[in-house]
Structure 1
Amino acid sequence: MNPYQEFIDSPDFHKEGCINLMTFPACAIKVETTEAIKEFVKNYNQSHKVKIHYPMGNEDSPKSYMEALRWVEDPNRYPDVILACDFKSLFAPNFKKFQEQGIFTDVLKDAKPHSFYETFDYKDPKETYSMLGASFSVIVFDKSVDSNLPVPTSFKDLLDPIYEKKISIHGHGDDSCDMTIVVNIYEQYGKAAALTFAKAIKELRHFSKVVKEAGKGNKSIPPISIIPENFGYLLRNRKNIEVIWPQDGSPVFPLLMTVKKEKADQAKELIDYLSGPELGQYWGDSHFASFNQNVENKEYQGKPIRYLGWDFVYDKDILEFRESLEEEVLEIVRGYPMDKKEKVQRIC
């Protein structure tokens, strides 16, 4: 039985005769991005007969929408335009059925990207997903917590037993963690390395807590944290803090968009805004590299990055693979298994 069917059938979830939009941007850009889109939608709806339905504009917590998306069986009830960070709802079994039916498309497949994106294979060969932006992770070493620990320069360094229970990564409680980091280690060094890394994790903490506590000598917290570049930038001048770009490459954390083919023309103004320089420059200024060629991103020249690649994404059935690996990692971190029914969907 579908626990979300009543919600999916409601006009809050999907409005007939409208351009239905949902967005789930990364934490680092979530609030400002949502507010900017909300303002665009407000102005658009005042001057257009066909309105944009944007439930994120009236919803403090869009988590329920993300959870419901996996249960949508009728593509007519799925958003016409959707933005989502990382490899989650847009790679769920129901969406893969829509993909196989050719319902959604990469509307930017012929667009010239920012020069940075030409350094890796960003383009979806199945022409479903458009990459709008990406963020990267840095390693933060807090000397005020442990000044005797060697400063790591890479993710490979963190596999050394001396770092066991010395690291924090992003997470929610004990049922969700930053799998971008873990899968990157898996892709580079294998499954055993990913599980070794799990032994190094002491805590799952939000980036904001890392920034708040860094450099204050709190011996109860891990001396090493892995956080997004824009949060690391806030710590660049803080005493006893060293921010390290990993020498073996910072993993690409993507913001993806997909659009229903039949709505692409009607939604062109919206798509142009979502992929345009105004929103893109805000992302660029926030250390979230925009795909738009006219945006001035931060300088990434000489900074190694790693993208999983579409072969890995498709061959591994990325969502199922990540969720299975995540449970193994979390069982090591928390020290006990958890019933899958207790898990909830997280935006990032």
Structure 2
Amino acid sequence: MKYINENMTILEICEKYPETIEFLKSKGFKNIDDKNTINIIGKITLKNVLSMKKINSDIFVEILNEIVNQNRNSIDITINNSEKSKEKNENTITMMGLLPCPVRIPLLEAMKEFLENNSEIDLSYDLKAASYGLDWLKDDVIKANHPEKLADIFISAGFDLFFEDELMGKFKKENIFKDITGIKEYNKDFNNEKISLKDPDGDYSMLGVVPAIFLVNTAELGEREIPRTWEDLLKPEFEKSVSLPISDFDLFNSILINIYKTYGKEAVKKLGKSLLQNLHPSQMIKSDKFKENIPTVTIMPYFFTKMIKEDSSMIAVWPEDGAAVSPIFMLTKKDKEDKLKKIAEFLSGEKVGKILSHQGLFPSINPNIDNNINGKKFLWTGWDYIHENNIGEILRECKELFFDNIKNK
């Protein structure tokens, strides 16, 4: 549901939707919770303010509406879109997970419509915004010391939840999950000699990926050339010049493990040395407005490039050696295949694929979706590497290498 539009005044937004104030303050709307300040700037429209800041209003408004939707639970996520009892019976299907923030509301709306058209499905689901974090999911998985206590379907991005031995890893070893999407070959963007996302063991499903690309502030480059690859970014001239989305742990972990696997331990150390500051992706798009500690390069999800104004000094660079990807995984229980198949097919189908790819710039694995990637490469660890290594241990080593070099630089 859309509550906010660009023609509303700052005062109107703050009064009607106070849950947006902290976000607005983080974007440079200083002291808007102060009555004197809001009386001065409050009559200015959001569109005019964003125009002065050279921020794309469409995406900014979309994020504001996501904040309101998340806070007010505008999408009813009870069973079959009705006020049913919270008590679940043996026929109730349970689903938990995280959805990428920019597409969460469209995906929930699509889910609501799907359930209305398939009233025979008894589904209870809790799909929070990715910004909510994984801790609640991890707690649920840890407490579920038996497969029967697990939710029937899990959706989330990143590596740690699905491969840690004390989390999903232990259930994977018990052959609990199965890919029941029915998709034999993934989208051509992920099914070629350069990359293969489909799990050869048939345990895990994917819905799409979150690519990490470079945002280069040309005003801060000086005599340096624009970095075109991850190797370029690890050169000494970019030390203390890079902003990384450390708070976006799924993407950050994916960047670390891809760099570790592709370029080795020393590359992870160099990445730590390159760090200037940690920014949330929504802050990155206006980093050319900072007065100090201005990053030359920010690493960010591809989606946020939609917020860059044409006259900005910021340019998006898709790494020539590949955008590091954080896969959006889906796990479905093998012993409930008959009950889950229709839902799995919907989630991996064209409607959801278009929402991910076209609205969120999260390329879909569905073979019928045009991701508009035009042959761009991805940096992906590969299933052989995942199956042959303890991903949890590697992630812990990566973080140790990275953060030790922040302290020592």
Aligned to 1:198: 272
Aligned to 2:259: 185
TM-fit CA distance, 1:165: 0.8
2:338 equivalent to 1:265: yes
* Structure 2 portions without partners, runs of 5+: 1-84
Aligned to 1:340: none
Q: Deviations over 1:255-292 (max 9, x none)?
A: 11121112121122211211111111011102111111
Larger deviation: 89-98 or 262-271? Answer: 89-98
Aligned partner letter, 2:282: S
2:244 equivalent to 1:169: yes
Distance 2:324 2:256 in 1: 10
The answer to whether the 8 Å contact 2:141/2:150 transfers is: no
Give the ranges of 4+ consecutive aligned residues of structure 1 lying more than 6 Å apart after TM superposition: 57-60
Q: 1:316 aligns with which of 384, 389, 397?
A: 389
The answer to whether the 8 Å contact 2:254/2:326 transfers is: yes
Distance 1:69 1:225 in 2: 34
What's the TM-score, normalizing by structure 2? 0.70
TM-fit CA distance, 1:166: 0.5
Distance 1:330 1:58 in 2: 27
- RCO comparison, higher one (Cα < 8 Å, 6+): 1
2:151 equivalent to 1:76: no
Aligned to 2:168: 95
Distance 2:366 2:329 in 1: 13
Aligned partner letter, 1:247: E
The answer to whether the 8 Å contact 1:138/1:232 transfers is: no
Aligned to 1:325: 398
Matches within 5 A, 1:175-324: 178-211=252-285, 213-216=286-289, 218-235=291-308, 237-285=310-358, 286-301=360-375, 303-324=376-397
2:226 equivalent to 1:154: no
The answer to whether the 8 Å contact 1:107/1:258 transfers is: no
Q: 1:111 aligns with which of 184, 205, 211?
A: 184
2:95 equivalent to 1:24: no
Distance 2:87 2:159 in 1: 23
Q: Deviations over 1:147-192 (max 9, x none)?
A: 444321111011111111100111229x997122222222222101
Larger deviation: 60-69 or 77-86? Answer: 60-69
Residue 29 of structure 1 aligns to a residue whose secondary structure is helix
Distance 1:35 1:185 in 2: 36
Distance 1:62 1:193 in 2: 27
TM-fit CA distance, 1:97: 2.4
TM-fit CA distance, 1:14: 9.2
Distance 1:325 1:14 in 2: 43
Residue 288 of structure 2 aligns to a residue whose secondary structure is coil
Residue 121 of structure 1 aligns to a residue whose secondary structure is coil
Distance 1:256 1:62 in 2: 15
TM-fit CA distance, 1:133: 0.6
TM-fit CA distance, 1:146: 4.6
2:193 equivalent to 1:121: no
Aligned partner letter, 2:150: Y
Distance 1:252 1:208 in 2: 18
Task: Indicate the structure (1 or 2) with the bigger Cα radius of gyration.
Answer: 2
TM-fit CA distance, 1:144: 3.2
Residue 339 of structure 2 aligns to a residue whose secondary structure is coil
2:224 equivalent to 1:135: no
Give the 3 Å change call, closer, same or farther, for CA 328–228 of structure 1 in structure 2: same
The answer to whether the 8 Å contact 1:70/1:92 transfers is: no
Give the 3 Å change call, closer, same or farther, for CA 262–297 of structure 1 in structure 2: same
> How many pairs are equivalent?
319
Aligned to 2:47: none
* Structure 1 portions without partners, runs of 5+: 1-11, 337-348
Distance 2:191 2:250 in 1: 32
What's the TM-score, normalizing by structure 1? 0.82
The answer to whether the 8 Å contact 2:243/2:297 transfers is: yes
TM-fit CA distance, 1:42: 5.5
Aligned to 2:16: none
Distance 2:300 2:97 in 1: 22
Distance 2:356 2:87 in 1: 28
Q: 1:52 aligns with which of 123, 146, 149?
A: 123
Identity %: 25
Higher helix share: 2
Residue 55 of structure 1 aligns to a residue whose secondary structure is strand
Q: 2:116 aligns with which of 21, 27, 43?
A: 43
Distance 1:162 1:67 in 2: 39
Larger deviation: 112-121 or 155-164? Answer: 112-121
